[in-house]
């Protein structure tokens, strides 16, 4: 009897030890799940506090860094063609990482970045984002491939990005619609009204020159009437491209409406502005757009340099007045208020 009772006791002790191990394993699983859930909640909170694409990419990188060290996170929407990059390194290393990113976006076939392949010293991972047919996320890591135990966490984090990125893309589209001329893609009057005071304040604070160019197309109405509104729209688009290709990125080029444009030239004296305006006139004349009656498209430009004490409205009015002087002097000319506006394209029929 005593021998028979001893055997169950031994089994009970062994079973209890196994049960304890199972409990510890389960507890460890619950702990990891709880930590992951806390991390996901933190990421959701970070995403809730961001609106624009750049801030979302930065917030994701900052959230991920304590878990997975990396050099760069980038998002690119193929339809828009613009990449949003957040890079944690600096100097030459930063330029190198960004260069690798640009190569990958331009030539995605270089490596299979879904597997973490290496390119120029960086291990690269990429994701096609959920519900984003044209959206791609890249992560560059210099040390080594991503640890297997962290891959699931990163995949879950990328899944969280889907909705905020969609929201941000939609938000950017709304902003673009509100601030861009739908025909030409140039900034619209609203942008001018919102930014012009900042240009004036910067010029005053830094004691810099600031010149305004008021531009109006010559013979556009005749061309529009003779060739039709559809052709008129194409003409405006072509002219807008000429303007955009000629000015600097720091300049503000605005379509105010119809065939009227304004160009704000920061840190630009009147002489330099006149040189630029003359080049714009020549480039427009090269389009060689005319009606069957020989009315040729040109552009007249009036310039006004701002100075301390000159109000915004008065400054704009002076630019308009010099534009009218250019028109009155024969069109396709640049005027800065001097008695004889400069003729740019004397071979143009007006």
The residues annotated with a catalytic role in the active site are: 259
Question: Six-digit token pair at 284?
Answer: 């427009």
Question: Six-digit token pair at 72?
Answer: 């760069």
The position carrying tokens 């619950």 is 30
Tally DSSP H helices, then E strands, for the chain: 9, 11
> Which residue, 60, 248, 272, 238, is CA-closest to 158?
60
SS3 207: coil
DSSP bridge pairs for 92: none
DSSP bridge pairs for 305: 211
Residues 6+ apart with CB under 8 A from 38: none
**CB burial of residue 114 (10 Å; 0-12, 13-18, 19+):** exposed
**CB burial of residue 217 (10 Å; 0-12, 13-18, 19+):** buried
Interatomic CA distance for residues 345 and 199, integer angstroms:
31
Q: DSSP code of 180?
A: B
SS3 172: helix
Cα distances (Å, whole numbers) of residue 344 to 256, 282, 322, 323, 335 = 24, 7, 15, 14, 11
SS3 260: strand
Q: Is there a contact between 51 and 168 (Cβ–Cβ < 8 Å)?
A: yes
DSSP 286-330: TT--B-TT--B-EEEEEEEE--TT--HHHHHHHHHHHHHHHHHTT
């Amino acid at each position: 009897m005593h021998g028979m009772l001893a055997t169950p006791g031994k089994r009970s002790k062994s079973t209890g030890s196994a049960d304890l191990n199972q409990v510890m394993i389960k507890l460890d699983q619950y702990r990891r799940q709880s930590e992951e859930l806390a991390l996901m909640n933190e990421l959701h909170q970070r995403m809730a506090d961001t609106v624009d694409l750049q801030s979302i990419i930065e917030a994701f990188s900052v959230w991920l860094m304590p878990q997975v060290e990396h050099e760069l996170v980038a998002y690119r929407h193929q339809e828009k063609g613009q990449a949003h990059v957040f890079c944690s390194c600096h100097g030459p290393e930063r330029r190198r990482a960004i260069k690798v990113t640009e190569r990958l976006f331009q030539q995605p076939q270089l490596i299979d970045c879904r597997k973490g392949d290496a390119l120029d010293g960086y291990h690269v991972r990429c994701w096609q984002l959920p519900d984003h047919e044209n959206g791609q996320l890249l992560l560059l890591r210099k040390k080594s491939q991503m640890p297997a135990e962290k891959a699931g966490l990163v995949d879950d984090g990328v899944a969280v990005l889907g909705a905020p990125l969609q929201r941000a893309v939609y938000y950017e589209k709304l902003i673009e619609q509100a601030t861009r001329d739908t025909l030409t893609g140039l900034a619209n009057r609203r942008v001018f009204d919102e930014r012009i005071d900042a240009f004036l304040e910067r010029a005053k604070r830094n004691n810099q020159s600031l010149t305004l160019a008021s531009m109006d197309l010559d013979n556009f109405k005749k061309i529009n009437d003779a060739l039709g509104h559809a052709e008129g729209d194409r003409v405006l688009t072509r002219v807008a491209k000429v303007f955009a290709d000629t000015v600097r990125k720091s300049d503000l080029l605005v379509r105010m409406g119809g065939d009227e444009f304004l160009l704000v030239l920061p840190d630009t004296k009147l002489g330099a502005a006149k040189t630029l305006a003359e080049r714009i006139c020549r480039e427009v004349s090269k389009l060689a757009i005319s009606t069957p009656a020989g009315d040729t498209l040109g552009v007249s430009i009036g310039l006004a340099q701002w100075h301390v004490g000159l109000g915004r409205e008065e400054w704009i009015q002076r630019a308009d007045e010099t534009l009218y002087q250019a028109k009155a002097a024969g069109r396709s000319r640049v005027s800065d208020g001097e008695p004889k506006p400069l003729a740019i394209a004397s071979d143009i029929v007006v």
